[in-house]
């Protein structure tokens, strides 16, 4: 028999589809409605222990225990806050939520990004939920990795998922085919420009990663990702869209329910000797928790410091050319934009400003590496 049985509650639930045997039922904290019954879920194979310590338990869920009757001790949450959307059963689409939750000014801003993205590019939306071929999965996840690396390089930060990316992909793939996870992808032609990775457990969709090509950042991609995901959840009768932890502007605006996570120590508190020992374990874990919290706070300060030192990406100055006849111009294929940093983003920002489709413009370059964009009867130039 072990003294303490320890597990990461949320990782076990999402990645392994397992629930610790001490839990009989999980309910929503915000409605008291049943989320899952322990009897209908896979149980952990575990060695019998005197104490069960589950950490990263979301406060959006309320536990009912079996033989243990109640949670013996709770530990305070870490500094992370999580965000989500409680889905009213009367909603018929994300547009309904947009109208009821946002101000007129906010609605205009979000719709502008979606409208211009659709106006400027040939888009295709795909949802992989229940079936995905391995080759397509690998292609999408490789793109997701590229987007993450570019985004966090821009922010001058490290990303925890990239450290164990291969392991993450290996457990995600079978879950998609079992309808326990999903991937939403927006394509521009054949290229993904946004990828949303989710875990689907009963009637909660856990949106764990919303990743996009930073060259399209002008189009409010975070808002578009949540809009699409929420719309799908509403139409599939979900109760809750969990947007995960970390504070981003799009999460705070879409959320109508915020929560933190806690640690739980569970044991047979009727035995006095265990109760005394439980207090000792609680004190030790609480001390560790304080150290961890301070560590996170120090980490967040480092992140803020790193952001201040991150390279500032200034918008490239684009000037209108009154007479382009004096230049020797060579046609330039936009597919070669990857060879020139900031070129794709500059073109995308131009399309956004002019509200024109990318197929309606032509790109040129002269020998001095000055680029020219021809749109209708106008010519513009910029230097990289």
Instruction: State pLDDT tens for residues 119-151.
Output: 999 999 999 999 999 999 999 999 999 999 988
| Six-digit token string for 125 | 């939306």
Same domain, yes or no: 135 and 178: yes
Q: Is residue 307 part of a domain?
A: no
Q: Each residue of 256-291: pLDDT tens digit?
A: 999 998 888 888 777 777 778 888 888 888 888 777
Domain membership flag for residue 181 = yes
Instruction: State how far the Cα of 139 lies from the Cα of 190, in Å rounded to an integer.
Output: 11
With beta carbons less than 8 A apart as the criterion, state whether 265 and 22 touch. Answer: no
Angle, vertex CA 29, rays to CA 27 and CA 30, nearest 5: 120
Q: Is residue 309 part of a domain?
A: no
Inform me whether the pLDDT recorded for 310 exceeds 70. no
* Number of domains present in the structure of the chain: 3
Q: Are residues 155 and 287 in the same domain?
A: no
Which alpha helices (DSSP H) does 204-360 contain, by range?
A: 221-235, 249-254, 272-309, 343-354
Measured CA to CA in angstroms, residue 22 lies from 12, 38, 254, 267, 343 at distances of 14, 9, 34, 9, 56
Q: Is residue 128 part of a domain?
A: yes
For the beta carbon of residue 308, count every other beta carbon within 10 angstroms: 9
**Residue 228 in contact with residue 184, Cβ under 8 Å?**
yes
Q: Do 100 and 242 sit in the same domain of this protein?
A: yes
> Of 224, 239, 258, which residue is a domain's last?
258
Is 312 domain-assigned? no
Q: Judge if 248 and 104 occupy the same domain.
A: yes
pLDDT for the residue 353: 92
Residue 272 shares a structural domain with residue 324: no
Total-model pTM: 0.88
Residue 306 within any structural domain of the chain: no
- One domain for residues 113 and 242: yes
Q: Is the residue at 205 inside a domain?
A: yes
Range of the domain at 61: 2-80+260-301
């Amino acid at each position: 028999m072990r003294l303490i049985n320890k597990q990461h509650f949320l990782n076990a639930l999402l990645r392994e589809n397992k629930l610790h045997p001490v839990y009989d039922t999980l309910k929503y904290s915000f409605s008291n409605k049943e989320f899952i019954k322990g009897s209908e879920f896979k149980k952990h194979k575990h060695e019998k222990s005197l104490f069960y310590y589950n950490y990263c338990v979301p406060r959006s869920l309320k536990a009912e225990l079996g033989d243990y009757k109640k949670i013996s001790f709770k530990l305070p949450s870490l500094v992370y806050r999580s965000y989500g959307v409680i889905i009213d059963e009367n909603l018929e689409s994300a547009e309904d939520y947009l109208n009821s939750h946002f101000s007129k000014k906010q609605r205009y801003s979000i719709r502008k990004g979606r409208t211009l993205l659709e106006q400027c590019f040939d888009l295709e939306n795909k949802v992989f939920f229940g079936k995905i071929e391995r080759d397509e999965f690998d292609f999408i996840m490789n793109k997701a990795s590229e987007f993450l690396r570019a985004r966090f390089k821009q922010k001058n930060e490290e990303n925890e998922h990239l450290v164990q990316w291969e392991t993450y992909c290996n457990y995600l793939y079978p879950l998609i085919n079992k309808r326990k996870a999903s991937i939403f992808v927006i394509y521009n032609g054949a290229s993904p420009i946004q990828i949303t990775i989710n875990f689907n457990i009963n009637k909660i969709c856990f949106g764990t990663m919303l990743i996009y090509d930073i060259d399209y950042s002008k189009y409010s991609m975070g808002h578009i990702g949540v809009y699409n995901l929420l719309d799908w959840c509403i139409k599939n009768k979900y109760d809750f869209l969990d947007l995960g932890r970390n504070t981003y502007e799009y999460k705070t605006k879409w959320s109508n329910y915020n929560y933190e996570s806690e640690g739980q120590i569970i044991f047979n508190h009727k035995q006095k000797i265990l109760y005394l020992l439980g207090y000792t374990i609680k004190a030790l874990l609480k001390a560790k928790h304080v150290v961890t919290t301070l560590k996170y706070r120090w980490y967040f300060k480092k992140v803020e410091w790193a952001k201040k030192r991150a390279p500032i990406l200034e918008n490239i100055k684009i000037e209108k050319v009154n007479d382009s006849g004096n230049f020797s111009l060579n046609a330039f294929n936009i597919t070669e934009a990857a060879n020139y940093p900031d070129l794709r983003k500059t073109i995308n920002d131009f399309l956004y400003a002019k509200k024109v489709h990318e197929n309606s413009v032509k790109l040129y370059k002269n020998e001095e590496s000055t680029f020219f964009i021809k749109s209708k009867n106008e010519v513009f130039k910029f230097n990289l």
